[in-house]
Structure 1
Amino acid sequence: MRQALLIVDVQSTFSPPEWLIDGIRALAAKLPAIASVELHDEQVTPFQQQLGWHPAREDESLIEADEVFVKHGYGQTAEAIDYLKRLGVERVLVCGLQTETCVLAAGFALFDAGLNPTLITDLTVGSSLDRSGKLGIELWTHHFRQVTTVAQVVEGLQG
């Protein structure tokens, strides 16, 4: 099965745990991988005005990827979605930070684009509301059904 990895917002701004960084790095070395980085531009997304906080104006992905796409808000950019479409993948494996917000938003963007989003449940961390990611995993399962684990992905790559 042709697949790619979408790494959502694993950047210093969101203080990812080391186990997440290490796990994603190991998997990204085995698959085509793209990453998103969320940067602040109040003119594009009014985080400060509406929420009283904002991501950093400058940051970078903590995971090496084939391509990195900057976004200003929760969703993925059209350029990132177009890039994945050009890869001709059968499914997009999704991992990263803020399971119930930015990761879930990535799922909706991929789904709407006709790509098959699959969440890697043990390579995601929730927002400050639910660091376990359980709420986001439940929402993902409800909306997209497709979830997997790192072990299942690696097994599929070897088989």
Structure 2
Amino acid sequence: MQQVLLIVDVQSTFSPPEWLVDGLRAFSAKIPTIATVEIHDEQVTPFQRQLGWHPAAQDENLIEADKVFIKHGYGQTTETIEYIKQLGVDRVLVCGMQTETCVLAAGFALFDAGLTPTLVTDLTVGSSLDRSGELGIKLWKHHFGHVTTRAEVNALLEAR
């Protein structure tokens, strides 16, 4: 099975927990990895005007990745989706920050592009509304069905 890992917004702005950063570093070393970094540009996404806060105007991905894409707002860029489609993967493993917002938005973009988004449930953290990520995991299962864990993916990789 051809697969790629998409790490969503694991960057300083969102203060990812150390266990997530460590887990992603170990996991991403085993699989082709793409990452996104959310950068604030009020002209593109009106975070400050509408929500009274905004991500940093400059930030960087905290996990080594083969390719990093900059995005503004919750969704994925056309460039990111096109890049993933060109890889010809069977599924896209998705993990990262804010399970019920940015991670879920990545799932919608991937699904709408005809790809198979699969949430790695033990490598995701929810927003301040639900740090456990359980709400996002439930929404993911409802909308896309496909979820997995690090252990399941590692077992598939080792079986090769």
TM-score band, normalised by the shorter chain? over 0.9
Per-residue Cα deviation, 1:103-143 (whole angstroms, up to 9, x for no partner): 00000000000110000000000000000000000000000
In structure 2, C-alpha distance between the alignment counterparts of 1:38 and 1:31, rounded to whole Å: 22
In structure 1, C-alpha distance between the alignment counterparts of 2:49 and 2:34, rounded to whole Å: 30
1:124 is matched with 124
Q: What secondary structure is seen at the aligned counterpart in 2 of 1:68?
A: strand
Shift of 1:78: 0.6
Shift of 1:27: 1.0
In structure 2, C-alpha distance between the alignment counterparts of 1:18 and 1:50, rounded to whole Å: 30
Q: What secondary structure is seen at the aligned counterpart in 1 of 2:95?
A: strand
In structure 2, C-alpha distance between the alignment counterparts of 1:24 and 1:80, rounded to whole Å: 19
1:51 is matched with 51
Q: CA RMSD in A?
A: 0.4
2:154 is matched with 154
2:113 is matched with 113
Per-residue Cα deviation, 1:41-73 (whole angstroms, up to 9, x for no partner): 000000000000000000000001000000000
2:15 is matched with 15
**1:78-93 aligned within 5 A:** 78-93=78-93
The amino acid across from 2:86 in the alignment is R
- Give the share of equivalent positions with the same residue, in percent: 77
In structure 1, C-alpha distance between the alignment counterparts of 2:21 and 2:70, rounded to whole Å: 19
Is 1:77 aligned to residue 82 of structure 2? no
1:96 is matched with 96
In structure 2, C-alpha distance between the alignment counterparts of 1:5 and 1:81, rounded to whole Å: 13
The amino acid across from 2:83 in the alignment is Y
TM normalised by structure 2 equals 0.99
Q: What secondary structure is seen at the aligned counterpart in 2 of 1:131?
A: coil
In structure 2, C-alpha distance between the alignment counterparts of 1:115 and 1:26, rounded to whole Å: 25
Per-residue Cα deviation, 1:1-53 (whole angstroms, up to 9, x for no partner): 00000000000000000110011111111111000000000000000000000
2:63 is matched with 63
TM normalised by structure 1 equals 0.99
Q: Show structure 1 runs of 5+ residues with no match.
A: none
In structure 2, C-alpha distance between the alignment counterparts of 1:64 and 1:79, rounded to whole Å: 19
The amino acid across from 1:133 in the alignment is G
1:35 is matched with 35
Shift of 1:157: 0.5
In structure 2, C-alpha distance between the alignment counterparts of 1:66 and 1:81, rounded to whole Å: 15
Runs of 4+ in 1 over 2 A off after TM superposition: none
